[in-house]
Chains A and B, each alone.
Chain A
């Protein structure tokens, strides 16, 4: 299927669902309190953009959430990739750290909320920590696995061509792992975006996640749906940016020769 045909079908599918949803609202098939129509959500969006929600402008809710998620995500990638690569290269380090990582990784991060509040208070630090830990674990695991997948014969070929240990790391292992690193970074930004909601459960006063939770308390389903749509669209956009970056920086991904 060509990309145009694929996109056309996707757009048509989204438009149909939106139209059906609008129809359900206009014809009162469902109670607008349970599911407000897209037109109502749009009106709410325009209103919030002008007047803000709970004294905070809408753009600031968006900005706060994106800043929280991206800050924690970038630190997680900056620390996690080198550590993961080292674990992949050094079996002893891997053996020492792996139990903790494997214990923490499947642990629902929401369970850590009480502890993070006790440790870091209810400020930005605890929110940063929750998102960071979620991203970090997934990046570390991805990076160490990527090193183990490097083809042994490629390293051997490089050795015979005279490359020393550092050159093998720099010119063979790093480029070899890049496609997989991109994939694990993509996974981790999704996980980080998910952890954002857990983080904003902790005594926040702004942020999209907080807005959704807060509006739910007042039965403002239009704001809840607006928040969900914004969270989804931003998450999708972040992922798309990484996909484009991957295509640009590692055109050899998935094309083994």
Chain B
């Protein structure tokens, strides 16, 4: 990171309450996020790690503009997020491709909706498909491809609009272990050349440590950010030697302990009381 990196994403004192109309939650709503503050600088790769149901996806939805915070501020490049725009891309756990469109039409969906000329969007689309190892599959339909290939198409579709920010919601969670490793390497390679700011939600500690500059660990519901780990080690990282790197082993142990504590709390929480607020 350069000395004076620009802040791209900033959350300040964000609470998110779901359900009941009153803020007190008298009619049984859920406080999903409590006092979340975080900052991502331009080009940073940050992973959000935490037990399931802790509100990781809620944070992505707030930044994407699908949802508004109950209180606090969500700022992107200094302005409050109001609605989804192409400056923020998102990749979901499911590829969410359009099965009625071919691979190339899926990838170029964004530019076509924005009225970009064909000659302007086709070359970059072909370039991204090549980078994703999807050459020759342009005219296939998503249902003719494997899960990993679909997710690569989704990645190309999100990246072609050159978003400043890429939000990723457990994008590799549904893939098998081998494919997941390949996808992680692919993602890092492209990120290193594109330098998009990435906020990546996962519950896989090793995935987070391989990908991220920083790892934020969240608590059980209501979700808070309990720890901020800076991942040491120079890039490019090597998946195979990551496990034996002594500084990595230490941070891995710390992160694991921190996550396990939170998972345990969340399990106790859900067995002891069913009323959430």
Contacts and interface: CB of A to CB of B under 8 A. Distances in A.
Nearest to A167: B113
A204 interface: no
Interface in B140-170: 141-143, 145, 150, 154, 157-158, 161
Interface residues of B, number: 30
B60 to A, nearest CB: 10
22 contacts: A151-B94, A154-B96, A156-B84, A156-B96, A158-B113, A159-B66, A160-B85, A160-B158, A161-B109, A161-B110, A161-B157, A161-B161, A162-B110, A162-B114, A176-B100, A178-B100, A252-B99, A252-B100, A252-B143, A255-B99, A257-B97, A257-B145
Interface string A155-180: 01111111110010001100110100
A31 interface: no
Nearest to B83: A159
Interface of A: 151, 153-154, 156-164, 167, 171-172, 175-176, 178, 250-252, 255-257
A40 to B, nearest CB: 51
A160 B113 contact: no
Contacts of B84: 156, 159-160
Classify the secondary structure of B's interface with A. loop
A151 B150 CA distance: 16
Interface of B: 64, 66, 83-86, 88-90, 92, 94-100, 109-110, 113-114, 141-143, 145, 150, 154, 157-158, 161
Given A157-B92, A160-B85, 12 more contacts: A151-B96, A153-B94, A154-B98, A157-B157, A163-B109, A167-B113, A171-B98, A175-B100, A178-B100, A251-B141, A257-B143, A257-B145
A121 B85 CA distance: 58
B142 A257 contact: yes
A257 B92 contact: no
Nearest to B153: A257
A241 to B, nearest CB: 22
A175 B99 CA distance: 9
Nearest to B157: A161
A162 B85 contact: yes
B208 to A, nearest CB: 22
Contacts of B86: 160-162
A161 B95 CA distance: 14
A172 B64 contact: no
Contacts of A252: 99-100, 141, 143
A257 B99 contact: yes
Most buried by A among B66, B100, B114: B100
Contacts of B110: 161-162
B89 A172 contact: no
Given A157-B90, A255-B143, A250 B85 contact: no
B90 A160 contact: yes
Nearest to B90: A160
Contacts of B109: 158, 161, 163, 171
A175 B98 contact: yes
A156 B99 contact: no
A256 B89 contact: no
Contacts of B154: 157
Rank and list the top 10 A-B pairs by shortest CB-CB distance, nearest first: A161-B110, A257-B142, A255-B143, A252-B99, A162-B86, A159-B84, A175-B100, A163-B113, A157-B96, A162-B114
Nearest to A164: B113
A161 B100 contact: no
